[in-house]
Structure 1
Amino acid sequence: LASQAGVHETYGGVVPRLAQEAHKAAIDSTVTEALRRSGVSPAQLTAVAVTVGPGLSMCLEVGVKKAVELSSVHQLPLVRVHHMEAHAMVSWLPAAAAVAAPPDAAAPSAPSAPADAATPPTPPAQPTAVRSTVSTPSVAAASSAAAARELSPTGVPPFPFLTLLVSGGHNMLVLSAGLGDHTILGSTLDDSIGEAFDKTARLLGITKVPGGPPLEQLARSGDSRRHALPRPLSKTRDNSLRTSCDFSYAGLKSAVRQLLETKLPLAKRELLSEEDLQQELAHVAASFQRVAVEHLVERTARALGWAREAHPSLSCLVVAGGVAANQEVRRQLTRVASEAGLPMVCPPVRLCTDNGIMVAWTGMQRLRHGLADRPVSTSQDVSLFVEVRPRWPLGPRDPRSTTQQAQLSKRKRAPSAGQPTGGDPEKSGSKQQKDGA
């Protein structure tokens, strides 16, 4: 419905102020068009789900403000969603879609309201994490026949499972024991793998944003063994770093820069034909991708062992986030999961990158378990309830994570995804807004 990728290509990355302006320009028409294409009116909605973090606060505020307004005007529950949990939970969607629409179903028609839409879910006495398989509700057209054909309907993966979240902003291994119940086993010490792909792509002369997909395409015609790049954290003297589940990609990116300056300086590039230059760049791309994925594989294999220690009944490895669309990443992680005797569950490629479907789907799950806020009264100023969490941990950290100490040293910590994020709309929203910043 809307994309601002083209806005940022000129700058080689996301420019916060431009991103905010693009959000403001598109938000109203995008909501209107989404409702039109779905064939529903606001009165037929059951709730409003919205990402409140983590991310750029100035962009999050645009979406949250619109969601609070819709919730207030139509008196609908407001479901606040953690962006990274949404990436993990969307892996459930194709299985649910397969239940809703057989693989041979025709193209979806205008959606009907879910079977339980007329009766809002009764919230439990206290919000609790879901620790077993959630029964799959019927889903609307956006996730019906087409999504059902994208993955084999293996069923919704039961908790607990290990989640690998890989994107431009995040690189985490998370033990998911329930909805809103996640423990971080490892995260990045510096750059995420997605950020490393994007920055390396720019070093290779790729201007598209994000740079990961075109880098992957370039790497297909290269020799991944042509250049010996250092595997991250393999030579560190810090044993806790070497044996952890944490990641580091800044050094690998720097090694690629040094390689290009040494092997392919500007003077040498000018002497090569365009075909030969692209071939040399392909070798660098392939070598980078091999080492980047090897680091991912090593840490994921270790995390599977840690997760099994805590939960011998571990059900699967879930891989989500934009980098999960990379076919080499999928191939290698499928192998790792298979060696551990587990299946790998991954969303369809189109749902790996940021999308509204994953937020809506996660919002459905949270709503069904009472994890929603009451709508703000129409007599109140909705701006007081525009709460965003640009830094919002998905959950507590495993003590073995080498980034644990740095996290504990912070004086103020945001609640995890399992804790309520909103407040009582009958109370002043100013304190909520301050606490969420």
Structure 2
Amino acid sequence: MLSSLSSTISRLNLFYPKPSIPYSLSSCLKTLKPQPIIPRWSPLHSLSTHSTSRLSTSLKPQLETLVSKDDLVVLGIETSCDDTAAAVVRGNGEILSQVVSSQADLLAKYGGVAPKMAEEAHSQVIDQVVQEALDKANLTATNLSAVAVTIGPGLSLCLRVGVRKARKLAGSFNLPIIGIHHMEAHALVARLIERELQFPFMALLISGGHNLLILAHDLGHYIQLGTTIDDAIGEAYDKTAKWLGLDMSRSGGPALEELAREGDAESIKFSTPMKQHKDCNFSYAGLKTQVRLAIESKNINAEIPISSASSQDRRSRADIAASFQRVAVLHLEERCDRAIEWARKIEPSIKHLVVSGGVASNQYVRARLDHVVTKNSLQLVCPPPKLCTDNGVMVAWTGIEHFCMGRFDPPPPADEHEDYMYDLRPRWPLGEEFAEGRSEARSLRTARIHPSLTSIIQASLQQQ
């Protein structure tokens, strides 16, 4: 991994503002005058001598016209999974537009995300979504300061659609481009909503593909306290909803949460995952197996939709849904409790726990985690539901934060070849693992394809 990291850093050749820019939300130079230094960012592509000279001639005048952070206008593009999203956000936090095109029909048809189908759906609507975001903001691409786009983690087929669109737009209008880590964006959007939220803080990021507990030291500096060793909570919600014959058109989570309100959460005694492991990692594969066996024991037929189920059958399904949700969230609570204890040993000053990601829209999850933070004398920060699920606002805002630190790439060539190999990062860790939280699970060892975002940025800072 060290050789990979060294290679990643050595091949970069970016221009950034002077390294004296402070790490704070309010910092952005009055005039950004780039000069070549060792880079602090992992770009969308390897840069050649030609591309760096192009930055100094064509991009520098554009950057010098930026008078303050508030004047920045960034387009964010998100296509990491099944939602095609774009938004325009101003540097002062004003959301000028937000557009999301969902793939509800495909989710219902396949019972989850089918990568190839999702890619085709993204390709069909990406141009329309981006144009609608610009139109709703009453802007054109010429009014933008930069384009931010998710480059990982996520489904590579889906990521490629967003990156291709972002590079085409940035190249055509000579705009800087900012590659965004999807999970960092989920964490940082809380700083857009809660402007008093300062580093350091804790974050629990929960979605269909991820369970992540982090300590956010600073922008680009994260410690991973815990992650999933197999399935994420959102995936467990979706699978359980599918097995219970629920409506998958708006994903399984909301449908299961709704049905669970009718059930008895204590009726089925599912075992809480990983009780014997005193760490902060997550596992939902075993709970899924327990749920499947319970469904089989009650002879529930998923082919019969919940809307057509008998009253007794519906009651059985509701009991399973409620019992599953209680234990699934209890697993979150126990891990968060321990993570708070660990985080305070590292950063005693933390005051906030951010909970974000698609599952953070679940009101039962929010209520239970609010109990955890209150018990630990912390404050819970949850973005509104529309900013918890995948969206372009979080990408644009994270782009603004990094742009003010000088972390961006120059405009791609306007005539970039169709076969250009994009730097996509389907498996891309956000932070380095906390020593006490390391797991020997094989899935964790094999997942580290790319060096973490934190290791790349911190290593490049040390070389300055």
TM-score higher than 0.5 here? yes
Matched, 1:4 2:103: yes
> Any conservation in 2 of the 1:20–1:59 contact (CA below 8 Å)?
yes
Cα separation, partners in 2 of 1:409 and 1:228, compared to 1, 3 Å? closer
Which residue of structure 1 lines up, in the alignment, with residue 199 of structure 2?
159
Which residue of structure 2 lines up, in the alignment, with residue 232 of structure 1?
273
In the alignment, the residues of structure 2 paired with residue 219 and residue 411 of structure 1 have an alpha-carbon distance, to the nearest angstrom, of 33
Residue of structure 1 aligned with 2:237, choices 197, 214, 217: 197
> Any conservation in 2 of the 1:12–1:207 contact (CA below 8 Å)?
no
Cα separation, partners in 2 of 1:419 and 1:379, compared to 1, 3 Å? farther
C-alpha distance after superposition, 1:177-208 (max 9, x if no partner): 11111111111111111111000111111141
Cα separation, partners in 2 of 1:219 and 1:30, compared to 1, 3 Å? same
Cα separation, partners in 2 of 1:411 and 1:332, compared to 1, 3 Å? closer
Task: Find the residue that maps to 2:205 and give its secondary structure.
Answer: strand
Cα separation, partners in 2 of 1:411 and 1:420, compared to 1, 3 Å? closer
Task: Find the residue that maps to 2:313 and give its secondary structure.
Answer: helix
Residue of structure 2 aligned with 1:206, choices 234, 246, 250: 246
Which residue of structure 2 lines up, in the alignment, with residue 170 of structure 1?
210
Task: Find the residue that maps to 1:215 and give its secondary structure.
Answer: helix
C-alpha distance after superposition, 1:266-309 (max 9, x if no partner): 59x99x97222112211111011001111110000000000000
In the alignment, the residues of structure 1 paired with residue 301 and residue 108 of structure 2 have an alpha-carbon distance, to the nearest angstrom, of 23
Segments of 5+ residues of structure 2 without an aligned counterpart are 1-98, 458-464
In the alignment, the residues of structure 1 paired with residue 319 and residue 136 of structure 2 have an alpha-carbon distance, to the nearest angstrom, of 45
Superposed displacement of residue 380, structure 1: 4.9
The alignment-based identity, stated in percent, is 47
Matched, 1:333 2:369: yes
Cα separation, partners in 2 of 1:262 and 1:88, compared to 1, 3 Å? same
In the alignment, the residues of structure 2 paired with residue 265 and residue 197 of structure 1 have an alpha-carbon distance, to the nearest angstrom, of 17
Superposed displacement of residue 233, structure 1: 1.4
C-alpha distance after superposition, 1:16-69 (max 9, x if no partner): 111111111111111111111110011110000000000111111111011111
Task: Find the residue that maps to 1:400 and give its secondary structure.
Answer: helix
Superposed displacement of residue 418, structure 1: 3.3
In the alignment, the residues of structure 2 paired with residue 184 and residue 356 of structure 1 have an alpha-carbon distance, to the nearest angstrom, of 24
Task: Find the residue that maps to 2:149 and give its secondary structure.
Answer: strand
In the alignment, the residues of structure 2 paired with residue 266 and residue 12 of structure 1 have an alpha-carbon distance, to the nearest angstrom, of 15
RMSD: 2.3
Segments of 5+ residues of structure 1 without an aligned counterpart are 96-154, 237-241, 422-437
Which residue of structure 1 lines up, in the alignment, with residue 383 of structure 2?
347
Give 1:275-424 correspondences, 5 Å limit: 275-378=311-414, 380-381=416-417, 384=420, 386-403=422-439, 406=442, 409-410=445-446, 413-418=449-454
How many residue pairs get aligned? The number is 354
Superposed displacement of residue 378, structure 1: 3.0
Task: Find the residue that maps to 1:418 and give its secondary structure.
Answer: helix
Residue of structure 1 aligned with 2:149, choices 45, 50, 64: 50
Q: TM-score, normalised by structure 1?
A: 0.77
Which residue of structure 2 lines up, in the alignment, with residue 25 of structure 1?
124
In the alignment, the residues of structure 1 paired with residue 345 and residue 291 of structure 2 have an alpha-carbon distance, to the nearest angstrom, of 37
1 or 2, which has the higher strand percentage?
A: 2
User: 1:199 is matched by which residue type in structure 2?
Assistant: K
Superposed displacement of residue 417, structure 1: 2.0
C-alpha distance after superposition, 1:307-328 (max 9, x if no partner): 0000001121010100001111
Which residue of structure 2 lines up, in the alignment, with residue 261 of structure 1?
296
In the alignment, the residues of structure 1 paired with residue 448 and residue 395 of structure 2 have an alpha-carbon distance, to the nearest angstrom, of 27
Which residue of structure 1 lines up, in the alignment, with residue 220 of structure 2?
180
Q: TM-score, normalised by structure 2?
A: 0.72
> Any conservation in 1 of the 2:202–2:213 contact (CA below 8 Å)?
yes
